[in-house]
Amino acid sequence: MGWWLFKTEPDSYSIDDLARDGDSPWDGIRNYQARNRLRDEVRVGDRVLIHHSSCRTPAIAGIAEVIRAAEPDPSQFNPQASGYDPKSSPDSPRWFQVTLRHVRTLPAPVPLAVIRTETALQDMELVRRPRLSVQKVTAAEAKHIQLMAKSQH
């Protein structure tokens, strides 16, 4: 089992939305490096830290599991969708999605500002390359984040 961090804007789709829905396609990725990771590296059974970004307090808010491997993101073919890509076709899709299932909402979100102060997390992509929407996470980093969430009560 691998670990990842996926970013989302909570105004668009939050950990609470995933908890309500149970599972959901993780669509709308329009960055080539993030796409390549979804398509080539993310596997069924991998765990995902859900990070709320572009909000008042960016934070890791929950955990999900990949339950469906990468497949073409249908929004790229829909001219009415915000993720429409006229250069993409069903025969040669450019963009992919995976499906996530909610595992748990963390007891307390772990703010990015706090993560940046943790010596044990200084090598996280979230600290080094914060803009990427699909990031690798080590098992040790994931465990540390979960411990931080428990201790913030």
Give residue-wise pLDDT tens across range 26-84. Answer: 999 999 999 999 999 999 999 999 999 999 999 999 999 999 999 999 999 999 999 99
Range of the domain at 31: 3-151
Strand ranges (E), 27-133: 47-52, 59-72, 96-111
| Cα–Cα distance, 22 to 137 (Å, whole number) | 23
- Quote the pLDDT of residue 151: 80
Say what the pTM is: 0.94
Phi, psi dihedrals of residue 127, rounded to the nearest 5°? -85, -40
Domain containing residue 23: CATH number: 3.10.590.10
Quick one: pLDDT band at residue 129, thresholds 50, 70, 90?
confident
Indicate the SS3 state at residue 23. strand
Quick one: pLDDT band at residue 130, thresholds 50, 70, 90?
confident
Phi, psi dihedrals of residue 74, rounded to the nearest 5°? -65, -20
Give the total number of structural domains in the chain: 1
Q: Which amino acid type is present at position 67?
A: I
- Please count the residues of the chain: 153
